[in-house]
Structure 1
Amino acid sequence: MPRLLPLAAITLALAGCSFRSTPDPDLSAQDAAWMAMVPQAEFDPHFARYLVDDPTGAAPGTVVVETRERQLYFVLPDRKAVRYGVTVGDEAFGWTGSARVFRKASWPDWNPPAEMVRRWPHVHPMKGGPANPLGARALYLADGGGRDTLYRIHGTNEPERIGQAASSGCIRMRNIDVVDLFNRVPVDAPVIVR
């Protein structure tokens, strides 16, 4: 009987942690073809997309990025959220605060900011496509005054970096995950990065 107590305790503890995977979004032929051209990487299941109990306390429709956890949550009604693994800004470029989605784009062109070009002269503007660092989708963020923050939530051509602090401040997601988020999040949705 004493051996059953630890098993019972583990079972009760896990019962409070409710999560399950969610189906992939439907993809266009172009999405499927271009995503197949992005090199695939080993993927830690901890950073997969799951439907979870909402740990954020934010209002439904809010995007919450927990930078220390390397997780992004899209808050749903009924105290649920969709959780995605992300890459966040490295220590020198990370940021926190509130924003709003002011624009959404599919396979967006990339125009690196002047500050990034000064740091890395080899970067240059690039048309949307599988080699583009913004990946399959981008959500453009504005501050409280409506000004472009130059930060984005976007896909990636480096899926092996999901779960790391490796970006220049943007929030990167696997392409299949950013398509899922893109389909859920309307323009003007609130975003909290903490």
Structure 2
Amino acid sequence: MQLDLIHISIERQLLTGSRAGRQLCQYPVSTAKNGAGELNGSGCTPRGRHRVRARIGEGQPLGAVFIGRRPTGEVWSPELAATHPQRDWILTRILWLCGEEPGINRGADRDSQRRYIYLHGTGDDQPMGIPLSHGCIRLRNPDILALFEMTPAGCAVIIE
């Protein structure tokens, strides 16, 4: 069954997916270490109404590494992470968000799409429930895989 709404609570570090008001899934997440905010370059997680602009990574293996929304052919492992300690790991699948509120999370200096705000997988060594991202919403790899399968392009996303 496909979701029609994804709700992300920054305070609770929790993602809830629903269809017609019925909860279908719930996953712990990690939002931005810098807190909530919409400005370009802030490193914050943007609030408000969004939509899933694009679904990226279908068919890639669990732990597939993405740079610039393209798979590198690598699969995350602790050894690979140790070799590249500076990387912000974007893994498995990407749900790219587009803001729906002009002046809040769309347009000018506060555009979620141009900030490349995603829901994406992260390394197994990264904790959930603790804000540590650079603005995106991180999930465990099995969780983003399951969420991706339920989420169509255009799905509504509310971040608060």
TM-score normalised by length of structure 2: 0.67
- Flag structure 2 segments of 5+ consecutive residues without an equivalent: 36-43, 58-63, 77-87, 101-105
Over residues 105-125 of structure 1, what are the superposed CA-to-partner deviations in whole Å (9 max), with x where a residue is unaligned?
A: 11463239xxxxxxxxxxxx9
Q: Which residue number in structure 2 is paired with residue 140 of structure 1?
A: 96
Would you say 1:96 and 2:96 are equivalent positions?
no
Q: What is the root-mean-square deviation in Å for CA atoms of aligned residues? A: 2.6
Q: 3-state DSSP class of the match of 1:161? A: coil
Q: 3-state DSSP class of the match of 1:103? A: strand
Cα distance, 1:63–1:95 mapped onto 2, change above 3 Å = same
Q: Which residue number in structure 1 is paired with residue 4 of structure 2?
A: 61
Within the candidate set 31, 52, 75, 1:130 is matched to 75
Over residues 59-114 of structure 1, what are the superposed CA-to-partner deviations in whole Å (9 max), with x where a residue is unaligned?
A: x61011001101001113463231100011113523211111111111463239xx
| Structure (1 or 2) with the larger CA radius of gyration | 1
TM-score normalised by length of structure 1: 0.56
Q: Which residue number in structure 2 is paired with residue 155 of structure 1?
A: 121
Higher relative contact order (CA 8 A, sep 6+): 2
Within the candidate set 119, 133, 140, 1:167 is matched to 133
Q: Distance in 2 between matches of 1:98 and 1:108?
A: 28
Q: Distance in 1 between matches of 2:32 and 2:117?
A: 10
Aligned length: 123
Q: 3-state DSSP class of the match of 1:104? A: strand
Cα distance, 1:83–1:128 mapped onto 2, change above 3 Å = farther
Does structure 2 conserve the Cα–Cα contact (< 8 Å) formed by 1:159 and 1:174? Answer: no
Does structure 2 conserve the Cα–Cα contact (< 8 Å) formed by 1:129 and 1:135? Answer: no
Q: Distance in 1 between matches of 2:71 and 2:22?
A: 40
Name the structure with the higher helix share.
1
Q: 3-state DSSP class of the match of 2:72? A: coil
Cα distance, 1:109–1:78 mapped onto 2, change above 3 Å = closer
Does structure 1 conserve the Cα–Cα contact (< 8 Å) formed by 2:46 and 2:159? Answer: yes
Would you say 1:181 and 2:141 are equivalent positions?
no
Letter in 2 for 1:129: E
- Flag structure 1 segments of 5+ consecutive residues without an equivalent: 1-59, 113-124
